[in-house]
Amino acid sequence: MTTHQSITDIRSREYDVDDLFLERWSPRSFLDKEVPEEVLYTVLEAAKWAPSASNIQPWRFIVAQTEADREKFHSFIYELNRNWCEKAPVLILFVSKKTMADGNPNPFHQIDAGAAWASIALQAKMLGLVTHGMGGLDREKAREVLSVPDDFEIHHVAAIGYQGAVNALPEPYQEREKPSLRKPLSETVFEGEFGKEVKGI
């Protein structure tokens, strides 16, 4: 992305959504700058209010914001992600409880956790932060290192902080440090049944 281009020049919308949705993306370059607790907890407060089936709120967030805790996370994050995420001042592991209070499976825990992640990513953007989610981790090692109970599913780690310069990244990552594009609605929205084209889109 060149310096004179805005993200909304690169990403185009089909309908008039707020710029926030286009401007949120997932950089890998982070400044060596701590996130104040008040700011971080505001981001987590947004997740608290995410939609939740039957208001079960199955999500849990394990936060690493000290050097010692971040090193624990580094032990189970795969190298391709660790090459850039080690500079991130905050790492959060997203997990969600797979069962309801009566012990029966909760079929909605994953979508609820996803709603919480979206809330975090958008609130972080509103506060001048950037986020990047990573699925590349050893989940069993994470469970062991962080003492995650067996009835919780481990989803992903998110890096949170202030955006750094592209040239601060290792060279293989610099070309990828730009907002991704999205499929048109005509490819993802159907009318009445799967695969049926929506008129007007």
Q: What is the pLDDT of residues 32-80, one digit of tens each?
A: 999 999 999 999 999 999 999 999 999 999 999 999 999 999 999 999 9
- Find the mean pLDDT for residues 83-94: 98
Amino acid sitting at position 124: A
Which parts of the chain fold into alpha helices (H)?
7-10, 19-23, 37-48, 67-74, 79-85, 109-126, 139-146, 171-174, 185-188
3-state class percentages of the chain: helix first, strand second, coil last, to nearest 5 = 40, 15, 45
pTM, rounded to two decimals: 0.94
Q: Return the SS3 of 142.
A: helix
Per-residue pLDDT, 35 = 98
Amino acid sitting at position 183: K
Per-residue pLDDT, 149 = 98
Residues 6+ apart with CB under 8 A from 192: none
Domains of the chain plus CATH, in order, are: 52-164 (3.40.109.10)
Between the CA of residue 198 and those of 13, 146, 183, 194, what are the distances in Å?
Answer: 17, 46, 15, 11
- Find the mean pLDDT for residues 85-90: 98
**Confidence class of residue 5 from pLDDT cuts 50, 70 and 90?**
low
Q: Are 175 and 167 in contact (CB under 8 A)?
A: no
Between the CA of residue 58 and those of 101, 104, 105, 108, 153, what are the distances in Å?
Answer: 10, 13, 12, 9, 10
Per-residue pLDDT, 100 = 96
Q: Is the pLDDT of residue 3 over 60?
A: no
**Confidence class of residue 9 from pLDDT cuts 50, 70 and 90?**
confident
Q: What is the pLDDT of residues 93-109, one digit of tens each?
A: 999 999 999 999 999 99
**Confidence class of residue 2 from pLDDT cuts 50, 70 and 90?**
very low
Per-residue pLDDT, 99 = 97
**Confidence class of residue 189 from pLDDT cuts 50, 70 and 90?**
very high
